Amino acid sequence: MSENKFSYRKHVWQQFKKNKPALFAFRFISVMAVIALCASILANEKPLYCKYKGDTYFPAFREYAVDMGIVKWPKELLNISWKTEEYESVVWAPVPYGSTEFDYMNDRYKSPMDEQDVKSTRWHHWLGTDEQGRDVLSGVIHGTQTAFVVGIVSVGITLLIGIFLGAVAGYYGDHDLQISRVRFWINFIFLPMAFFYGFQVRSYSISDAFAESAYSGFVQIFLSFLVFLLVMFILNVLIWPLKKISFLGTKVAFPIDLIINRIIEVVVSVPGLILIMAVVAVIAKPSVFVVMILIGLMGWTGIARFVRAEMLRVKKMEFMEAAKAFGYSDFRSIVKHALPNCMTPVFIAAAFGIAGAILTESTLSFLGIGVAPEDVTWGSLLNAGRSNQNAHWLILTPGIAIFIVVTFFNLIGEGLTDALDPRQKK
């Protein structure tokens, strides 16, 4: 039996392979993902390998570890200017420039074709420089990294929220979430209290963390959310005995579907770009990290709708009735049985979502909204090209990069549509 076993994954992959443009896009995007992953090795002002004062270092590789906070720079490497040091032996990165490194010898928009003030062709700026002498090729490579991180993080958030809310709304509808009267009212009344312990008591930890960095700020918000859930949980445990009283214990339907649909309507009704602009205006230190989280928080409505619609369909199927008959918990029914059958539109929406997130982020950084000076994105490179009409190399390459990534993710989305959902194909 096992030899001829029909594998859904294999089948989808075979279907996907039939779509030539999508397959090409998939391969190309894989290559770009590798570039994004290796950005600091491909383009770096620090050498890949060097022998310096008798010791051997791998500074470009070490940078990854430092960025992740695993190790720190050794003292002797902390304040050295990499380019001017004397090394016993050294191997430079393929593009020997950092994305935020200023090459003062070649500033003020050096074209790739111009005569450049460099030691040899090895140090040529192959895609030119911008006003401050930053290497455009290095910027494009590091921008690839930013774009992929933006796409993955924001779509990840989108998926988490969208799948959860969509599944809950679709599975329970307005009538199937039965909770006892006392639980309904107690939860309703004490929601502000949980909010108080989660967010108000911790408000200064949150704002201090945000002042430090956006990352630790979001960590604190997440912790607050956990506190919030904990308080709600404790409350629900405490009121359990009250359910024994018949009046309080009567089950009432909680209109979860209605509520989630209202939330979706609110989020959908404000144009994403404007909402992000409004929120970014309040944040003291905006950065690409903040922007990608905001994009994720705003983009989940589509996925929630898809999952909800699929859930409504799947819920009526026989295997779900079987699951109920077996006495499986709601959680198990949803996660193990219903959700896997709802994922088709989610994959498709995720592919399109990555394209959309990258586009939104590059639009914002093109407008100069929500980018910190140290962030290098395709949009900010393009914006730098706007101030000099003759610096076409600053406009063309980042633009082509954005175009390729967006088109190819869209193509992958199309290919997935054909492969996963043949009904759509007419």
Partner 1 sequence: MLKYLLKRILFFVPTIWIISLLTFSLSVNSPGDPVDIMLNTAGESGQNADKQAKQKEYDAMREKLHLNLPVFYFDISSLAEPDTLYKIPKKLHRENLDRLVSMYGNWPLVSAYYHQIEGTEKKVDQISAPDSLKDELIKARLLISELYYKYDEVVLREKHKKISEALHKINPSFDYDHSLLVSYDDMVLHLATWKNYLPSFHWNGYQNQYHIWLTNLFKGDFGTSYYHKRSVLDLISERIMPTIVYSFLSIIIAFLVSIPLGVSAAVTRGTKKEKVITILLFILYSLPSFWIGTLLINYFTNPIFFDWFPSTGLKDFDDQAGFFERLSNYVDHMVLPLFCYTYSSFAFISRQMRGSMIQTLNQDYIRTAWAKGLSERKIYWKHALRNSLLPLITLMSSVFPSLIAGSVVIEYLFTLPGMGLLAYESEVSKDYPVIYIIMLFSAALTLIGYLVADILYAIVDPRISYGKK
Q: Applying CB under 8 A, which residues contact partner 1?
A: 21, 192-193, 195-197, 200-201, 203-204, 262, 265-266, 268-275, 277-282, 284, 355, 359, 362-363, 366-369, 379, 382, 385-386, 389-390, 392, 395, 399, 402-403, 406-407, 410-411, 414, 426
Q: How many CB atoms lie within 10 A of CB 392?
A: 12
- Minimum Å gap between C-beta 191 and partner 1 is 10
Q: Are 166 and 305 in contact (CB under 8 A)?
A: yes
Helix axes 214-238, 288-298, angle to 10 degrees: 40
- Is 90 or 280 the residue whose CB approaches partner 1 more closely? 280
CB of 4 to partner 1, least distance (A): 34
Q: Of 351, 366, 331, 335, whose CA–CA distance to 417 is shortest?
A: 351
Helices (H), 38-96: 39-42, 59-67, 75-78
Q: CB 255 → partner 1: shortest distance, Å?
A: 13
Nearest distance, CB of residue 307 and partner 1, angstroms: 20
CB of 195 to partner 1, least distance (A): 7
Closest CB 77 distance from partner 1, rounded Å = 33
- DSSP letters for 213-262: -HHHHHHHHHHHHHHHHHHHHHHHHHTGGGGGSHHHH-EEE--HHHHHHH
Shortest Å, Cβ 66 to partner 1: 30
Q: How far is CA 237 from the centre of its chain?
A: 36
Instruction: Name the residue nearer to partner 1 (CB basis): 102 or 190.
Output: 190
- Look at the block and give the residue holding tokens 């082509």: 400
Of 94 and 272, CB closest to partner 1: 272
Give the C-alpha separation, 210 to 284, whole Å.
8
Chain length of the chain? 426
Query: Beta strands of 229-292 (E only): which ranges?
Result: 251-253
How far is the CA of 381 from the CAs of 137, 302, 390, in angstroms? 10, 30, 14
Residue 306 token pair: 């898809």
Q: Which is nearer to partner 1, 250 or 424 (CB)?
A: 424
CA gyration radius for the chain?
26
Residue with Cβ nearer partner 1 (203 or 250): 203
> Given the complex with partner 1, which of 281 and 335 has the nearer CB atom?
281
Q: Which residue has 């050295």 as its token pair?
A: 80
By C-beta, is 108 or 262 nearer to partner 1? Answer: 262
